[in-house]
Amino acid sequence: MKLAFNIFIFLLLNFTALAIGGFFTGNGVASDWYYNLNKAPWTPPGWAFGVAWSTIMICYSFYMAILYKANTRRNKVIALYAAQLLLNVAWNPFFFYVQNALIALFSILFLTIIIAYFLFSNIKTMRWTSLLISPYFIWLCIATSLNLYIVIYN
> What is the extent of the structural domain holding 60?
2-153
The SS3 of residue 98 is coil
The CA distance from 102 to 58, in Å, is 29
pLDDT tens digits for 39-78? 999 999 988 988 999 999 999 999 999 999 987 788 999 9
- CATH number, domain at 138? 1.20.1260.100
Q: How many domains does the chain have?
A: 1
Q: Are 104 and 154 in contact (CB under 8 A)?
A: no
- What pLDDT score does 1 carry? 63
Q: Using pLDDT thresholds of 50, 70 and 90, give the confidence band for residue 27.
A: confident
pLDDT digits (tens, 9 = 90+) for 30-39: 789 999 999 9
Q: H-helix or E-strand containing 53?
A: helix 46-70
pLDDT of residue 71: 77
